[in-house]
């Protein structure tokens, strides 16, 4: 039940433009900078200003569907859906395709009770703009929200045919395929998502879906799932001895189930019985070669015994199955940093940044890699990203100030402005941590 509820909620979220907004229309996964900036105003509670900005964009970009989506979203937040409906109705004679598309967005924003009207408008738009991938994508969303998964899948497939490089469509199609029982197709679709530069929201949706697909308890009957969960709970409570005893009993009763051997291997590893752990985890992989959990757990044993290359291979095998597995990504980044493989570490951290949302830690780690590689402008951007997430992050302020000073030395023309930025950063850091003597010394050195 929990898995079904999770997938349903994930699918429903495709129709939302922001957390907490129940009926707002989805925004494009690849809008331009102007659209992103205007949309940000809606999310910041400045919907009236956003609406004015989008009205201007509509004049200069009347055929940009992302602008129309942003316009309707802003109207929703500003409480002006009816006026927006009237605007698109006025275009019925002169621009019927855009009119149908805009009216569909308005109906989708108005609530679940208006989905049939939305479908009719989208079909009108499709007749006039048959090559627009976003139209079957929206139709698929409407069907999915109504629980009509087979027609939703058909529409998502058409959208993907028209625009195979759009990750949002790929994730939505994978979601529906999984609900229809086609986990293999879902995985096939999701494995290409990382190479298509997904947005954080798309990557997080993909990660939630792959987590459900590869859930080792997913296909277990209820009583066995509870038994396996008890072993996992004991492991989380660091009661490795009890967990091992329970896992051994599970394997005796159900030797054909990979999950029991995986849990036994983890328990033995916690007890430093590495050789026995390897035997158990290899047995788990014989039974289920495509188990990311077993691969990662075996990789952990090899990492603990300093067999670095073997550990890396296992983590990479896990990521070949599930490219969004946080555990594998974190371990691969750790291992790469330990082995001073900055390129591998950066690739793992790039995906973690997408998945971790407002967590500054992977951004800080990536920034250090960029500094070591002398890619200072990129490092500056990385620390600026951290401060956008956490404006009070003192370490990011100090490191960013140091980079500004370094760039001032490299670029004499920017010396004054960069040193001033460094001074402001250090003064803010001192305000937040007045007892920190190191910050005071850095400020003094800067003044000198």
Question: How many whole angstroms from its chain centre is CA 115?
Answer: 28
Per residue in 161-191, pLDDT (tens digit) is 999 999 999 999 999 999 999 999 999 999 9
User: What integer best gives the mean pLDDT of the chain?
Assistant: 90
Q: Pick from 167, 166, 188: which is nearest to 177 by CA?
A: 188
Q: Which single residue is written with the structure tokens 């004054």?
A: 416
**Locate tokens 């490299």: which residue?**
410
| CATH (one of 3.90.1170.40, 1.25.40.10, 1.20.1560.10, 3.40.50.300) for 2-213 | 1.25.40.10
Burial of 432 (0-12, 13-18, 19+ CB in 10 A): middle
pLDDT for the residue numbered 32:
62
Q: Above 80 in pLDDT, residue 327?
A: yes
Query: What CATH class has 218-312?
Result: mainly alpha
CA dist 334 and 317 (Å) reads 16
Instruction: Give the separation between CA 280 and CA 372, rounded to whole angstroms.
Output: 40
Task: Report the chain's terminal Cα–Cα distance, integer Å.
Answer: 65
Residues 282, 295: Cα–Cα separation, whole Å: 9
Read off the pTM.
0.83
Same fold, 2-213 and 218-312: yes
Compute CA 413 distance to the chain's CA centroid, rounded to the nearest angstrom. 39
Q: Is the Cβ–Cβ distance between 429 and 404 less than 8 Å?
A: no
Q: What pLDDT shows up at residue 401?
A: 94
Comparing CA positions, the residue from 393, 335, 328, 340 lying closest to residue 364 is 393
The model's pLDDT over 40-69, given as tens digits with 9 standing for 90+, comes to 888 888 999 999 999 999 999 999 999 999
Domain boundaries, the chain: 2-213, 218-312
* Gap between the Cα atoms of 76 and 88, Å rounded: 14
Residues 278-293 have a mean pLDDT of 97
């Amino acid at each position: 039940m929990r898995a079904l509820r999770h997938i349903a909620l994930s699918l429903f979220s495709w129709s939302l433009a922001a957390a907490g907004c129940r009926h707002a229309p989805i925004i494009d996964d690849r809008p331009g900078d102007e659209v992103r900036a205007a949309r940000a105003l809606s999310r910041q509670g400045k919907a009236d200003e956003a609406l004015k900005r989008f009205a201007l964009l509509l004049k200069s970009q009347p055929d940009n569907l992302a602008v129309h989506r942003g316009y309707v979203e802003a109207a929703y937040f500003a409480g002006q859906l009816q006026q927006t409906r009237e605007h698109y109705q006025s275009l019925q004679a002169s621009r019927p395709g855009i009119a149908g598309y805009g009216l569909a967005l308005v109906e989708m924003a108005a609530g679940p009770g208006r989905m049939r009207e939305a479908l009719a408008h989208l079909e009108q738009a499709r007749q006039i703009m048959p090559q627009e991938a976003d139209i079957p994508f929206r139709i698929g969303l409407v069907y999915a929200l109504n629980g009509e998964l087979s027609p939703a899948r058909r529409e998502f497939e058409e959208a993907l045919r028209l625009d195979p490089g759009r990750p949002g469509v790929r994730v939505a199609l994978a979601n529906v395929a999984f609900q229809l029982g086609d986990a293999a197709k879902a995985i096939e679709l999701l494995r290409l998502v990382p190479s298509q530069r997904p947005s954080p929201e798309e990557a997080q949706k993909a990660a939630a879906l792959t987590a459900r697909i590869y859930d080792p308890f997913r296909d277990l009957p209820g009583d066995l799932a509870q038994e396996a969960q008890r072993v996992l709970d004991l492991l989380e409570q660091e009661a490795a001895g009890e967990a091992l005893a329970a896992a051994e009993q599970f394997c005796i009763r159900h030797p054909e189930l990979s999950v029991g051997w995986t849990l036994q291997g983890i328990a033995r590893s916690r007890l430093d019985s590495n050789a026995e752990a390897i035997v158990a985890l290899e047995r788990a992989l014989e039974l289920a070669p495509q188990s990311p959990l077993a691969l990662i757990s075996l990789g952990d044993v090899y990492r603990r015994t300093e067999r670095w290359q073997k550990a890396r291979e296992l983590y990479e095998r896990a990521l070949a199955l599930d490219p969004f597995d946080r555990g594998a990504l974190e371990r691969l980044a750790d291992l790469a940093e330990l082995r001073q493989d900055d390129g591998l570490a950066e690739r793992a951290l790039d995906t973690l940044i997408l998945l971790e949302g407002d967590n500054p830690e992977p951004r800080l780690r990536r920034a250090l890699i960029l500094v070591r590689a002398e890619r200072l402008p990129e490092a500056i951007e990385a620390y600026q990203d951290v401060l956008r997430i956490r404006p009070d992050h003192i370490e990011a302020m100090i490191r960013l100030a140091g980079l500004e000073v370094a760039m001032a030395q490299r670029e004499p023309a920017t010396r004054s402005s960069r040193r001033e930025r460094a001074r402001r950063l250090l003064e803010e850091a001192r305000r937040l941590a007045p007892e920190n003597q190191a910050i005071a010394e850095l400020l003094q050195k800067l003044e000198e």
